[in-house]
Amino acid sequence: MNKLNKIALVTGASRGLGKNMAINLAKKGIDVLFTYQSKEEDAIETAKEIEKYGTRTAFLQLDIQNTSSFKQFFERLETCLRDKFQTNHIDFLINNAGTGTYATFQGTTEDQFDSMFNIHIKGVYFLSQSAIEIMNNEGAIINISSGLTRFCTEGYAAYAAAKGAVEILTKYQAAELGFRGIRSNVVAPGPIETDFGGGIVRDNKDLNQIIASQTALGRVGLPSDIGSVVTFLCTDEAKWINAQRIEVSGGYYL
Ligand code: NAP
Protein backbone atom coordinates (compact mmCIF):
# COMPACT_ATOMS: atom_id res chain seq x y z
CA MET A 1 0.00 0.00 0.00
CA ASN A 2 1.24 3.47 -0.91
CA LYS A 3 2.10 5.28 2.33
CA LEU A 4 2.15 8.63 0.52
CA ASN A 5 -1.51 8.58 -0.48
CA LYS A 6 -3.43 11.67 0.50
CA ILE A 7 -6.57 11.16 2.59
CA ALA A 8 -10.04 12.60 2.02
CA LEU A 9 -12.85 12.70 4.57
CA VAL A 10 -16.16 12.57 2.68
CA THR A 11 -19.39 12.96 4.63
CA GLY A 12 -22.45 11.03 3.44
CA ALA A 13 -20.78 8.60 1.05
CA SER A 14 -22.98 5.55 1.65
CA ARG A 15 -25.13 6.59 -1.33
CA GLY A 16 -25.64 9.12 -4.08
CA LEU A 17 -23.19 11.88 -4.84
CA GLY A 18 -20.91 11.15 -1.89
CA LYS A 19 -20.50 7.53 -2.94
CA ASN A 20 -19.49 8.58 -6.44
CA MET A 21 -17.06 11.15 -5.04
CA ALA A 22 -15.49 8.53 -2.77
CA ILE A 23 -15.02 6.05 -5.64
CA ASN A 24 -13.61 8.73 -7.95
CA LEU A 25 -11.14 9.87 -5.30
CA ALA A 26 -10.06 6.26 -4.84
CA LYS A 27 -9.55 5.90 -8.61
CA LYS A 28 -7.13 8.84 -8.39
CA GLY A 29 -5.17 7.12 -5.61
CA ILE A 30 -6.61 9.12 -2.72
CA ASP A 31 -7.48 7.14 0.43
CA VAL A 32 -11.03 7.74 1.61
CA LEU A 33 -12.46 7.92 5.08
CA PHE A 34 -16.19 8.44 4.80
CA THR A 35 -19.35 8.66 6.86
CA TYR A 36 -22.89 7.34 6.71
CA GLN A 37 -25.83 8.24 8.89
CA SER A 38 -28.13 5.19 9.07
CA LYS A 39 -27.41 2.90 6.12
CA GLU A 40 -24.44 0.85 7.28
CA GLU A 41 -25.08 -1.84 4.64
CA ASP A 42 -24.72 0.78 1.91
CA ALA A 43 -21.51 2.04 3.54
CA ILE A 44 -20.11 -1.51 3.40
CA GLU A 45 -20.89 -1.59 -0.36
CA THR A 46 -19.15 1.77 -0.91
CA ALA A 47 -16.08 0.50 0.94
CA LYS A 48 -15.99 -2.69 -1.17
CA GLU A 49 -16.06 -0.63 -4.37
CA ILE A 50 -13.30 1.69 -3.13
CA GLU A 51 -11.09 -1.26 -2.22
CA LYS A 52 -11.20 -2.47 -5.85
CA TYR A 53 -8.89 0.45 -6.66
CA GLY A 54 -6.29 -0.63 -4.12
CA THR A 55 -6.69 2.41 -1.90
CA ARG A 56 -7.37 2.32 1.80
CA THR A 57 -10.79 3.11 3.20
CA ALA A 58 -12.81 3.13 6.40
CA PHE A 59 -16.19 4.47 7.42
CA LEU A 60 -17.74 5.93 10.54
CA GLN A 61 -21.28 6.78 11.62
CA LEU A 62 -22.08 10.51 11.81
CA ASP A 63 -25.22 12.58 12.21
CA ILE A 64 -24.15 15.98 10.93
CA GLN A 65 -27.04 17.63 12.83
CA ASN A 66 -25.72 16.44 16.17
CA THR A 67 -22.85 18.82 16.86
CA SER A 68 -22.63 17.59 20.47
CA SER A 69 -21.42 14.24 19.08
CA PHE A 70 -18.50 15.80 17.18
CA LYS A 71 -15.97 15.52 20.01
CA GLN A 72 -16.60 11.77 20.21
CA PHE A 73 -16.71 11.54 16.40
CA PHE A 74 -13.22 13.04 16.12
CA GLU A 75 -11.93 10.70 18.81
CA ARG A 76 -13.18 7.74 16.72
CA LEU A 77 -11.80 9.37 13.58
CA GLU A 78 -8.35 9.82 15.09
CA THR A 79 -8.28 6.19 16.27
CA CYS A 80 -9.30 5.09 12.80
CA LEU A 81 -6.65 7.26 11.12
CA ARG A 82 -3.97 5.86 13.41
CA ASP A 83 -5.03 2.19 13.11
CA LYS A 84 -5.99 2.01 9.42
CA PHE A 85 -4.03 4.80 7.76
CA GLN A 86 -0.98 5.08 10.07
CA THR A 87 -1.33 8.86 10.32
CA ASN A 88 -3.14 11.48 12.34
CA HIS A 89 -3.89 13.87 9.51
CA ILE A 90 -6.27 14.27 6.59
CA ASP A 91 -5.77 16.31 3.41
CA PHE A 92 -9.27 16.98 2.10
CA LEU A 93 -12.70 17.50 3.64
CA ILE A 94 -15.77 17.10 1.45
CA ASN A 95 -18.87 18.40 3.22
CA ASN A 96 -21.50 16.50 1.26
CA ALA A 97 -23.90 14.79 3.72
CA GLY A 98 -27.46 15.98 3.79
CA THR A 99 -31.10 15.78 2.91
CA GLY A 100 -33.67 18.28 1.68
CA THR A 101 -37.10 19.24 2.88
CA TYR A 102 -39.96 20.26 0.66
CA ALA A 103 -41.91 23.26 1.99
CA THR A 104 -42.90 26.62 0.56
CA PHE A 105 -41.60 29.74 2.29
CA GLN A 106 -45.05 30.30 3.86
CA GLY A 107 -45.45 26.66 4.81
CA THR A 108 -42.02 26.04 6.42
CA THR A 109 -42.22 25.01 10.08
CA GLU A 110 -39.57 25.99 12.62
CA ASP A 111 -38.54 22.33 12.90
CA GLN A 112 -38.00 22.07 9.13
CA PHE A 113 -36.02 25.32 9.17
CA ASP A 114 -33.85 24.18 12.10
CA SER A 115 -33.21 20.82 10.48
CA MET A 116 -32.03 22.42 7.21
CA PHE A 117 -29.77 24.92 8.99
CA ASN A 118 -28.39 22.30 11.37
CA ILE A 119 -27.54 19.91 8.52
CA HIS A 120 -26.34 22.29 5.83
CA ILE A 121 -24.63 25.07 7.77
CA LYS A 122 -24.24 24.56 11.54
CA GLY A 123 -23.00 20.97 11.19
CA VAL A 124 -20.71 21.86 8.28
CA TYR A 125 -19.36 24.89 10.17
CA PHE A 126 -18.35 23.03 13.31
CA LEU A 127 -17.28 19.81 11.61
CA SER A 128 -14.94 21.88 9.43
CA GLN A 129 -13.65 23.75 12.48
CA SER A 130 -12.53 20.48 14.07
CA ALA A 131 -11.33 18.93 10.81
CA ILE A 132 -8.99 21.87 10.22
CA GLU A 133 -7.13 20.89 13.38
CA ILE A 134 -6.07 17.62 11.76
CA MET A 135 -5.78 18.82 8.14
CA ASN A 136 -2.35 18.99 6.53
CA ASN A 137 -1.25 22.34 5.13
CA GLU A 138 -1.96 22.59 1.34
CA GLY A 139 -5.22 20.69 1.94
CA ALA A 140 -8.68 21.59 0.67
CA ILE A 141 -12.30 21.87 1.73
CA ILE A 142 -15.11 21.31 -0.75
CA ASN A 143 -18.57 22.33 0.36
CA ILE A 144 -21.48 20.88 -1.59
CA SER A 145 -24.13 23.50 -2.22
CA SER A 146 -26.88 23.47 -4.84
CA GLY A 147 -27.96 25.15 -8.06
CA LEU A 148 -30.93 26.33 -5.97
CA THR A 149 -28.83 29.26 -4.68
CA ARG A 150 -28.80 30.69 -8.25
CA PHE A 151 -32.33 29.85 -9.40
CA CYS A 152 -35.56 29.32 -7.47
CA THR A 153 -37.73 26.22 -7.45
CA GLU A 154 -40.77 26.58 -5.24
CA GLY A 155 -40.55 24.50 -2.08
CA TYR A 156 -36.87 24.87 -1.27
CA ALA A 157 -36.66 28.22 0.59
CA ALA A 158 -35.14 26.89 3.84
CA TYR A 159 -32.88 24.35 2.09
CA ALA A 160 -31.57 26.91 -0.42
CA ALA A 161 -31.09 29.58 2.26
CA ALA A 162 -28.92 27.15 4.25
CA LYS A 163 -26.93 26.29 1.11
CA GLY A 164 -26.51 30.03 0.48
CA ALA A 165 -24.99 30.34 3.95
CA VAL A 166 -22.46 27.59 3.23
CA GLU A 167 -21.39 29.45 0.10
CA ILE A 168 -20.56 32.54 2.19
CA LEU A 169 -18.80 30.37 4.76
CA THR A 170 -16.63 29.00 1.95
CA LYS A 171 -15.24 32.46 1.19
CA TYR A 172 -14.39 33.03 4.85
CA GLN A 173 -12.71 29.64 5.09
CA ALA A 174 -10.62 30.50 2.02
CA ALA A 175 -9.72 33.93 3.45
CA GLU A 176 -8.78 32.65 6.90
CA LEU A 177 -7.06 29.39 5.96
CA GLY A 178 -5.08 30.55 2.93
CA PHE A 179 -2.03 31.23 5.12
CA ARG A 180 -1.79 27.43 5.54
CA GLY A 181 -2.22 26.82 1.80
CA ILE A 182 -5.71 25.40 2.45
CA ARG A 183 -8.25 26.16 -0.28
CA SER A 184 -12.02 26.16 0.09
CA ASN A 185 -14.46 25.92 -2.80
CA VAL A 186 -18.13 25.20 -3.47
CA VAL A 187 -19.46 22.63 -5.88
CA ALA A 188 -23.11 23.37 -6.65
CA PRO A 189 -24.86 20.50 -8.46
CA GLY A 190 -28.01 20.97 -10.50
CA PRO A 191 -30.74 18.31 -10.25
CA ILE A 192 -29.11 14.86 -10.09
CA GLU A 193 -30.57 11.34 -10.16
CA THR A 194 -30.08 10.13 -6.56
CA ASP A 195 -32.29 9.21 -3.58
CA PHE A 196 -32.42 12.91 -2.69
CA GLY A 197 -35.99 14.18 -2.18
CA GLY A 198 -37.29 10.60 -2.22
CA GLY A 199 -35.59 10.02 -5.58
CA ILE A 200 -38.06 12.33 -7.35
CA VAL A 201 -35.62 13.60 -10.02
CA ARG A 202 -34.70 10.01 -10.96
CA ASP A 203 -38.06 8.25 -10.52
CA ASN A 204 -40.65 10.79 -11.68
CA LYS A 205 -40.35 10.42 -15.46
CA ASP A 206 -42.37 13.59 -16.22
CA LEU A 207 -40.22 15.73 -13.92
CA ASN A 208 -37.07 14.12 -15.28
CA GLN A 209 -38.09 15.12 -18.81
CA ILE A 210 -38.98 18.66 -17.81
CA ILE A 211 -35.59 19.11 -16.13
CA ALA A 212 -33.82 17.65 -19.17
CA SER A 213 -35.67 20.10 -21.44
CA GLN A 214 -34.55 23.02 -19.21
CA THR A 215 -30.92 21.90 -19.32
CA ALA A 216 -28.66 23.18 -22.11
CA LEU A 217 -27.00 19.76 -22.46
CA GLY A 218 -30.41 18.08 -22.70
CA ARG A 219 -30.42 15.59 -19.83
CA VAL A 220 -30.61 15.32 -16.05
CA GLY A 221 -27.36 15.11 -14.04
CA LEU A 222 -25.85 11.83 -12.82
CA PRO A 223 -23.67 11.30 -9.72
CA SER A 224 -20.65 10.73 -11.98
CA ASP A 225 -21.04 14.29 -13.31
CA ILE A 226 -20.24 15.59 -9.83
CA GLY A 227 -17.71 13.11 -8.40
CA SER A 228 -15.16 13.86 -11.11
CA VAL A 229 -15.28 17.61 -10.43
CA VAL A 230 -14.85 17.15 -6.69
CA THR A 231 -11.91 14.84 -7.38
CA PHE A 232 -10.34 17.40 -9.73
CA LEU A 233 -10.50 20.00 -6.93
CA CYS A 234 -8.43 17.61 -4.81
CA THR A 235 -5.60 17.46 -7.36
CA ASP A 236 -2.58 19.65 -7.90
CA GLU A 237 -4.07 20.79 -11.21
CA ALA A 238 -6.65 22.75 -9.19
CA LYS A 239 -4.12 24.33 -6.84
CA TRP A 240 -4.97 27.91 -7.84
CA ILE A 241 -8.77 27.52 -7.62
CA ASN A 242 -9.87 29.07 -4.35
CA ALA A 243 -13.03 30.66 -2.91
CA GLN A 244 -15.04 29.74 -6.01
CA ARG A 245 -18.58 28.49 -6.56
CA ILE A 246 -18.49 25.97 -9.38
CA GLU A 247 -21.95 25.08 -10.61
CA VAL A 248 -22.12 21.63 -12.18
CA SER A 249 -25.55 21.49 -13.79
CA GLY A 250 -25.05 20.99 -17.51
CA GLY A 251 -26.37 24.53 -17.96
CA TYR A 252 -29.66 24.26 -16.09
CA TYR A 253 -32.15 27.14 -16.18
CA LEU A 254 -30.01 29.56 -18.19
P1 NAP B 1 -28.69 11.02 -1.03
O2 NAP B 1 -28.54 10.13 -2.20
O3 NAP B 1 -29.99 11.07 -0.30
O4 NAP B 1 -27.50 10.67 0.01
C5 NAP B 1 -27.41 11.41 1.21
C6 NAP B 1 -26.17 10.99 1.97
O7 NAP B 1 -26.04 11.83 3.12
C8 NAP B 1 -26.22 9.57 2.49
O9 NAP B 1 -24.91 9.07 2.57
C10 NAP B 1 -26.81 9.75 3.90
O11 NAP B 1 -26.44 8.71 4.82
C12 NAP B 1 -26.15 11.05 4.31
N13 NAP B 1 -26.96 11.81 5.28
C14 NAP B 1 -28.23 12.21 5.18
N15 NAP B 1 -28.60 12.91 6.26
C16 NAP B 1 -27.53 12.95 7.07
C17 NAP B 1 -27.26 13.50 8.35
N18 NAP B 1 -28.22 14.16 9.06
N19 NAP B 1 -26.05 13.35 8.89
C20 NAP B 1 -25.07 12.69 8.22
N21 NAP B 1 -25.23 12.12 7.01
C22 NAP B 1 -26.47 12.26 6.46
O23 NAP B 1 -28.41 12.57 -1.44
P24 NAP B 1 -27.42 13.16 -2.55
O25 NAP B 1 -28.23 13.53 -3.73
O26 NAP B 1 -26.25 12.29 -2.71
O27 NAP B 1 -27.03 14.54 -1.84
C28 NAP B 1 -25.71 14.78 -1.38
C29 NAP B 1 -25.50 16.29 -1.24
O30 NAP B 1 -25.71 16.91 -2.51
C31 NAP B 1 -26.45 16.97 -0.25
O32 NAP B 1 -25.75 17.97 0.45
C33 NAP B 1 -27.47 17.63 -1.17
O34 NAP B 1 -28.06 18.75 -0.56
C35 NAP B 1 -26.61 17.99 -2.36
N36 NAP B 1 -27.32 18.19 -3.63
C37 NAP B 1 -28.02 17.17 -4.21
C38 NAP B 1 -28.66 17.40 -5.43
C39 NAP B 1 -29.48 16.33 -6.12
O40 NAP B 1 -30.27 16.67 -7.02
N41 NAP B 1 -29.32 15.06 -5.80
C42 NAP B 1 -28.58 18.66 -6.05
C43 NAP B 1 -27.83 19.66 -5.44
C44 NAP B 1 -27.20 19.41 -4.23
P45 NAP B 1 -27.32 7.30 4.89
O46 NAP B 1 -27.12 6.62 3.57
O47 NAP B 1 -26.71 6.53 6.02
O48 NAP B 1 -28.73 7.70 5.11
Q: Which residues line ligand 1 (CB under 6 A)?
A: 12-18, 36-39, 42, 62-65, 96-100, 119, 144, 146, 189, 191-192, 194-196, 201
Segment 213-220 mean pLDDT: 98
Segment 200-221 mean pLDDT: 98
Segment 212-241 mean pLDDT: 98
- Torsion angle, CA of 85/175/18/58, rounded to 10 degrees? 10
Scanning 134-238, the segments in alpha helix (DSSP H) are 157-177, 196-203, 205-213, 223-233
Q: Does the predicted model carry a pTM greater than 0.85?
A: yes
Confidence of residue 3 (pLDDT cuts 50, 70, 90): low
Segment 58-82 mean pLDDT: 98
Q: Of all helices (H) and strands (E), which one includes residue 51?
A: helix 40-51
State the pLDDT at residue 1: 45
For a pocket test of ligand 1, which of 118, 196, 204, 222 has the largest count of ligand atoms closer than 8 A to its C-beta? Answer: 196
Beta carbons of 122 and 66 less than 8 angstroms apart: no
- Superfamily of domain 7-248 in CATH is NAD(P)-binding Rossmann-like Domain (3.40.50.720)
Confidence of residue 118 (pLDDT cuts 50, 70, 90): very high
